[in-house]
Structure 1
Amino acid sequence: MKTGPSKLRRLLSSASHNTRHWCAVAAVGLSAGLASPVWAQPKETLIWLLRDLPPTMILEGPKKGQGIIDHMLPLLIAGLPQYEHTLMRVNRARAMQMLHEESFTCDPSLVWTKEREQWITFSIPAFRAVSNGLVVRKEDRSVLEPFLIDGEVDLAALLINGQKKVGVVAERSYGEVLDTLLKQAPDGALTPHYGNDALGSLLQMQRLGRLQVVLGYWPEIRYQAQQANIADDELAFYPIKGTGKYLSGHIGCSSTAQGRQAISAINQLLRTLPHEGLDRLYADWLDPQRRKDYLEEAKAFFEHQAGQ
C-alpha cells in the first residue's frame, strides 16, 4: 500500500499525545515537501517492511496501531520528506529476503546481530525492549528449577539436558547470545514453529500440555496470552543467564548506497525523537513491577546516546 499525502496525515495523527509537538514540527516539513514544484526531481521510493509483532507493531485486533513502532514510524516518515514512502506488509521470511536483495527497503524493528550486519545496514538504537526469557505454566516451574542460577535460567544447560523441548519462533533472531546457543542446541532440543502466528501457536501448545517451555519476549508473550484468554498469573517468566535485562531494537535497511544514505538520515532523526514518550508507550505493555525499572534504564540509555 502506497502512502500518499492523506495516508501520511493519518499516520501522523496516530502518534501519541506525548509526541504531538514533534509531530507538529515534522508535519510542517512534510507539507513543504508535498508542495514542491512539479519540475522537481522524482523522489526515490523507500519501502517499509511491516509485520504484526505485538507489542512493538500491531496490525490487527483491538490494540491495532498501539505499538511503539506504530507511533514511531509516522515520525520517521514525516522527517524523511526527501523520499516517497510505501508501506508493505510481509511475513518474516519475505522481509529478510527483500533486505538481502538490491532493493531500497527498511525494517523498523530489528535486532542487531553480527551475521545480519553483513547484508543489513543498521541504525543506532531506536528503542529498548525487555530481553527474551523462558515462560512456563506455573504448575510446571519445577521443570526449570535444576537450571536456575540466581533466578536466571542456564539455557545452555537446559538445552544440553534435552529432557524438555524449548518452543521457538523459527527464523527469528533472539539476539547474538541466544542465537549462538540455539544454533549449538542438540538435535531435538527445540520445537520451532514457522506460522505467521508462531508464538500464539506455541502458547496454545503449552496450554494443551504438548510443550512446557517457550522462549520469547515477556511483553509479547503477555499480549499473545491475553488474546488466547490465558491470564498472567497462569504463567511464570524467567530471564536467561548472560543476556542482560534489556536489548536494543534497531531500524535496518538494505545494505546498498540508498539504504546507507537513508540510515544516515534516520540516525539524525533518532537522536531528536521524543524517546521519553515512546518509552512510556512500551512500558504500558509491561507488568507493573518491571515498568519503573524499564523507564529509568531507557531514560538513562537515550540520554547517553543523545550526548554522543
Structure 2
Amino acid sequence: MFKSLIVILFGLSLALTCTAQQKFIWLTDSSPDQQPQQYRQALDVNGVTLDLLMQGVSDFKAEAVQTTTERAMAMLKTEASACAGNRLKNAERLTFSYATAIPHTVFPGLRLYSKSPSKTTAWLKQQLNDQQQLSLQHLLESDHKLHFAVGGGRSYGEQLDTLLKQPQWQHKFWQRRSVDMSAGLIDMLVQSRVDLLIEYPNVMQHYLAQQSTDTQLTSFSIQEAEPYMLGYILCAKTPEGQKLTDFFEQRLQILSQQKRYLDAHLAWVDAADREQLTGLYNQVFGTSF
C-alpha cells in the first residue's frame, strides 16, 4: 500500500513538472539540422544567443523550427507559443506579436553594396551627398536602370520599408524568399544578376568569406538607414506569448550585462570591426566593456 502511494505521488510530481514546463517554437532561418542544400554555414546569431538565454532554465523548452522570414511572421499569428529572435520591431509586426523591451541583438546598420569595378559603383560615387551618404529615394527616382536584391518578407527599418513598398518601383527589386535568403541575395550580387544589395556588414563579411572567388565590393552609407540595427525577440500575441516575452526580457536584462553575451556578437564580425561593435553594444545596453 505504501509503495503504491509512493508511485502515485511520484507520478503526480512528474506530471506537475511536465505541466509547469512551457514548450515553445523558436522560429529561425538556421538550424543545427539544416538541410544539405544550405551549402554554407548560416549566420546563426539566433542559435548562439538562444543557447545562452536558455542555460539553466527549466520552466521553458525551445524547439527550433527552420523557416523563411515570411513564414515565421505568419506562424506568429497562428501558433500560441512561438517566438522569433533578431527581428526588427515595426508597427505592422506589433499588431500580431509582442516584442521584448530590451533588444536581443545589436549590429552596425545596413549599407548599400555594389561590385567595385562596375559602372554602377562609379556612378554611385558621384551621387554621394555632403555627409558621404547615398539617398535610396534619389537612386530610385533617377533614370539610371538599377536592380536591387531584396529579401521577401524582411524588414529593413521604417524609412527603407516605406520606399521598398512603393508600387512604382517594384520593377527595380528582385526578391528572394528562402531559408538561406542572405547567402542567396549575396550570390545574386556576386554573379551580377543585380546591381545593388542592401545588407548588414557582418552578414556580408560572414558569407563572402565562404565564397570560392574573391569578389571586390564597395559599400555605401544609406541616408534612410538607421546607424545600427536592434533586433528584438517577437512572440505570439497570446497569453503564452506574453509569458514568453516577460521571460526573455528578464533573461536579456541579466545576460546583456555579461561579457559572454557581447562575445556572442563579436564572434560574427571581423576583428577590425569589433571595437566599433563593442562601442555600439555599450551604448545600447549601458555596459562598459
So what's the TM-score if we normalise by structure 1? 0.76
Distance apart, 1:182 and its partner CA: 0.8
Instruction: Give, as a single letter, the amino acid of the residue that structure 2 aligns with 1:134.
Output: L
Relative to structure 1, the CA distance from residue 203 to residue 265 in structure 2 (aligned partners, 3 Å threshold; closer, same or farther) is closer
- Is the 1:48–1:85 contact (alpha carbons within 8 Å) kept by the matching residues of 2? yes
From 248, 251, 261, give the equivalent of 1:269.
251
Distance 1:83 1:288 in 2: 35
Match of 2:262 in 1: 279
Distance apart, 1:80 and its partner CA: 4.1
- Is the 2:157–2:226 contact (alpha carbons within 8 Å) kept by the matching residues of 1? no
Answer yes or no: is 1:148 the counterpart of 2:167. Answer: no
- Is the 2:202–2:269 contact (alpha carbons within 8 Å) kept by the matching residues of 1? yes
Match of 2:204 in 1: 221
Distance apart, 1:137 and its partner CA: 1.0
| Between 102-111 and 78-87, the greater mean CA deviation after superposition | 78-87
Match of 2:241 in 1: 259
Distance 1:61 1:279 in 2: 28
Distance 1:201 1:276 in 2: 33
Relative to structure 1, the CA distance from residue 153 to residue 294 in structure 2 (aligned partners, 3 Å threshold; closer, same or farther) is same
Relative to structure 1, the CA distance from residue 239 to residue 301 in structure 2 (aligned partners, 3 Å threshold; closer, same or farther) is same
Detail structure 1 runs of 4+ shifted over 6 Å in the superposition.
Answer: none
Answer yes or no: is 1:244 the counterpart of 2:226. Answer: yes
Secondary structure at the residue paired with 1:259? helix
Distance 2:51 2:266 in 1: 20
Instruction: Give, as a single letter, the amino acid of the residue that structure 2 aligns with 1:161.
Output: S
Instruction: Give, as a single letter, the amino acid of the residue that structure 1 aligns with 2:179.
Output: N
**Unpaired segments of 5 or more residues in structure 1?**
1-35
Match of 2:30 in 1: 52
Relative to structure 1, the CA distance from residue 252 to residue 245 in structure 2 (aligned partners, 3 Å threshold; closer, same or farther) is same
Relative to structure 1, the CA distance from residue 275 to residue 135 in structure 2 (aligned partners, 3 Å threshold; closer, same or farther) is farther
Distance 2:45 2:193 in 1: 33
User: May I ask how many residue pairs the two structures share in their alignment?
Assistant: 264
Answer yes or no: is 1:106 the counterpart of 2:83. Answer: yes
Match of 1:210 in 2: 193
Match of 2:69 in 1: 92
Distance 2:61 2:188 in 1: 43
| Superposition map of 1:87-236 within 5 A | 87-123=64-100, 124-140=102-118, 141-149=121-129, 150-161=131-142, 163-184=145-166, 186-231=169-214, 234-236=216-218
Percent identical among aligned pairs is: 22
CA RMSD across the alignment? 2.6
Instruction: Give, as a single letter, the amino acid of the residue that structure 2 aligns with 1:260.
Output: Q
Secondary structure at the residue paired with 2:171? coil
So what's the TM-score if we normalise by structure 2? 0.81
Distance 2:214 2:271 in 1: 15
Distance apart, 1:116 and its partner CA: 0.4
- Is the 1:112–1:122 contact (alpha carbons within 8 Å) kept by the matching residues of 2? yes
User: Cα deviations across residues 256-286 of structure 1 (Å, max 9, x unaligned)?
Assistant: 1110111112111101005533323323433
Distance 1:198 1:301 in 2: 27
Distance 2:205 2:271 in 1: 13
Distance 1:45 1:295 in 2: 33
Larger Rg: 2
Distance apart, 1:249 and its partner CA: 0.8
